[in-house]
Amino acid sequence: MLEAFQGEGAKTVASPDVERIIEELRRLAPDEKRRVREVLDREDQLRVQATDRSIDLSRELRWIDEHRLEYAGQWVAVRGDRLLSSGPDGATVYEAARAAGDERPFVTRVKPADDLPFAGW
C-alpha cells in the first residue's frame, strides 16, 4: 500500500484511485512523465497566484490611472511604476513581459476613463 505525506511528517493512506493513477503514471515514457509534471506544476503555480492576497499593486494601479488615456483599450504589463510591454493581445503582452525577465507580471486591459460598467442583459 502506498503512503502519501501531508504537512510536517504526517502520513495518510492514499485512496485506491490515487494508487491506480500512480501505477499508471509509472508506466509512462519519460517524456510523458515530464509533461504530467509540467501540467501539475503549472496548476499549482496558478493556485498559489490566485490565492496570494499579500501582493501590493498600488504602484501598478497608480501607473495605469496616470497613463489611462495613452493606453486605453490596450493590454499592459506593469511592474511598479514601469511599463514592461503593451499591445492589443493580452497573451502576447504577458509573454513579452516574461521574456523581459519578470516572472509574474501584472497584466491587465486598460479601460477607457469613460467606459461604462457592464450591468447584464
pLDDT digits (tens, 9 = 90+) for 48-87: 555 555 778 889 999 999 999 999 999 999 999 999 999 9
Q: 90: which 3 cell numbers? A: 493580452
What Rg value do the Cα atoms of the chain yield, rounded?
Answer: 21
**Residue at grid coordinates 504537512:** 7
Q: Identify the band that residue 120 occupies on the pLDDT scale cut at 50, 70 and 90.
A: low
Please report whether residue 120 resides in a domain: no
What cell was used for 98?
516574461
**pLDDT number for residue 75:** 95
**How far is CA 18 from its chain centroid?**
26
Say if residue 67 is in the same domain as residue 98.
yes
User: 15 and 39 in one domain?
Assistant: yes
Whether the Cβ atoms of residue 85 and residue 100 lie closer than 8 Å to each other:
yes
Neighbours of 79 (CB within 10 A): 17
Q: Is residue 116 part of a domain?
A: no
pLDDT at position 6, please? 44
Asked, for residue 91, whether it belongs to a domain, the answer is: yes
Instruction: Give pLDDT tens digits for 4-52.
Output: 444 444 455 568 888 888 899 999 999 998 888 888 877 777 665 555 5
Rounded to two decimals, the pTM is: 0.52
Q: Could you tell me the residue range of the domain that residue 46 belongs to?
A: 3-51
